[in-house]
């Protein structure tokens, strides 16, 4: 019998968003368990992957990082970002003007 660490339901894995819920039977593909993510999702993951911080969440951390990167592109970084913003602003004002004319027609 191989050495087996018992995890307690409700114990949090340091450095992750995952809380251990229960072991999942998976004789072939390593030891797996059910985890609650801080965001409310429940996932089944390989415990070793979580322990090595290869899995830190249900996937929501990656998702949030992507969103943050996109926001950065539009707000803080460099000339290309601010040029995009001014193009966006021009588009918006053009749009408002168009609406204005329409309003004049119908008003
Ligand atoms: Zn999550």
| Ligand 1 center from residue 70 Cα (angstroms) | 19
- 22 C-alpha vs ligand 1 centroid, how far in Å? 17
Question: Model's pTM, two decimal places?
Answer: 0.60
Ion ligand 1, residues whose Cβ is below 5 A away: 37, 39, 41, 57-58, 60
In the DSSP assignment, the letter for residue 11 is P
Residue range 31-78, pLDDT digits in tens? 899 999 999 999 999 999 999 999 999 999 888 888 888 887 666 655
Residue 70 to residues 37, 63, 76, 91, 100: CA-CA distances in angstroms? 24, 11, 10, 20, 32
pLDDT confidence band for 105 (50 / 70 / 90): low
Distance 80 CA to ligand 1 centre (A): 32
């Amino acid at each position: 019998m191989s050495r087996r660490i018992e995890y307690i339901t409700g114990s949090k894995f340091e450095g992750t968003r995952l809380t251990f819920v229960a072991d999942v039977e998976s004789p072939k593909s390593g030891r797996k368990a059910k985890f609650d993510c801080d965001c409310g999702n429940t996932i089944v993951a390989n415990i070793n992957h979580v322990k090595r911080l290869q899995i830190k969440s249900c996937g929501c951390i990656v998702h949030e990082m992507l969103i943050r990167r996109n926001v950065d592109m539009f707000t803080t970084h460099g000339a290309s970002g601010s040029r995009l913003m001014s193009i966006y602003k021009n588009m918006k004002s053009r749009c408002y003007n168009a609406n204005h004319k329409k309003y004049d027609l119908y008003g």
